[in-house]
A and B are shown apart, each in its own frame.
Chain A
């Protein structure tokens, strides 16, 4: 694969273009890699900020508004939860409740809870409840990511 780097000081924004003949595994890996760098806009106290999806710990819908929780900051996103998951599923986001999704890469530990539910202990110390309905899809996503890691290793 030929790689070119061009320094253009007058560009308004840095960008990457990938040209390919067919979508191979290598291209998919590059797509996943750059998806993580893709920034989205989040609103906080009437100010607009650029945030990276991979910096988000979890997402929650409150009063029909989607909020993204980073380690300490909270931003409102102009996405629906499903649309966000469709766009950034490759960044490790998976639904854990009707109105909640988590970034699997930010989960530190899983613990069993009463009534066979699972509690997710996040890297920042927060605890999320994994709804029983979504337990299977969560575990499937977790094992799928592990498999992908092995394949790329």
Chain B
């Protein structure tokens, strides 16, 4: 068990909250036999979060491609899966007439915000480090050139 400190505080809060929420859904299902739209939405959101985190975490495989292409590619893949799940959901119950549009907005808005923060931070850090390395190497080769002269 990890000691809670300022670095993992919010992660721990999120984990505890998720566990409590799942416990509540499970308890309601067992004790009250309740499993409606509310519970389905919570589980769907968890599934989408899991999926989005997994797809985003694969960014290191696409470093040779331009950032925008990677972001768009991952988004298209994810929104495709979301729409597929919504379509499959339509087999088991009647969908609202704006269900697809609502799913699109519910997924796109947080995705765009999260993506911007995540990628900009990671790529900026890597880019800055590589720039520094390049400058150091150039300086070193110049210094070695002078030494040889």
Map CB proximity to B onto A106-149 as digits: 1 under 8 Å, 0 otherwise: 01111111111011000000000000000000010011011001
Contact yes or no, A107 B123, CB < 8 A: no
**Looking at the complex, which one of B57, B129, B139 makes contact with A139 (CB distance below 8 Å)?**
B129
Residue numbers in B under 8 Å from A21 (CB-CB) = none
Do B60 and A104 touch across chains, with their CB atoms under 8 A apart?
no
Instruction: Please judge, given known A-B contacts A114-B60, A149-B135, whether A142 and B122 are in contact too, CB under 8 Å.
Output: no
A8-40 CB contacts (< 8 Å) to partner B: none
In the complex, whether A88 has a CB less than 8 A from a CB of chain B is no
Residues on the A chain within 8 Å of B137, using CB? 105
Contact B60 A109 (CB under 8 A): no
How many Cβ-Cβ contacts under 8 Å join chain A to chain B? Answer: 52
Complex interface residues of chain B between 49 and 99 (CB less than 8 A to chain A)? 57-60, 63
- Cβ-neighbour of B126 out of A105, A111, A146 (below 8 A): A111
Chain A count of residues within 8 A CB distance of the other chain: 22
Cross-interface CB contact of A111 among B63, B132, B136, B140, cutoff 8 Å: B63
Q: Chain B contact residues (Cβ within 8 angstroms of A): what range?
A: 10 to 19
Residue A83 is within 8 A (CB to CB) of chain B in the complex: no
Taking the complex as formed, is A153 at the interface, i.e. its CB lies under 8 A from any CB of chain B? yes
A-B contacts, 28 of them at CB < 8 A, read: A105-B136, A105-B137, A107-B133, A109-B130, A109-B133, A110-B130, A110-B133, A111-B63, A112-B60, A112-B63, A112-B123, A112-B126, A114-B57, A114-B58, A116-B122, A118-B126, A139-B128, A139-B129, A142-B132, A143-B132, A145-B132, A145-B136, A146-B135, A146-B136, A149-B136, A149-B140, A152-B139, A153-B139
Query: What is the interface of chain B, defined by CB distance below 8 A to chain A?
Result: 57-60, 63, 122-123, 125-126, 128-130, 132-133, 135-137, 139-140
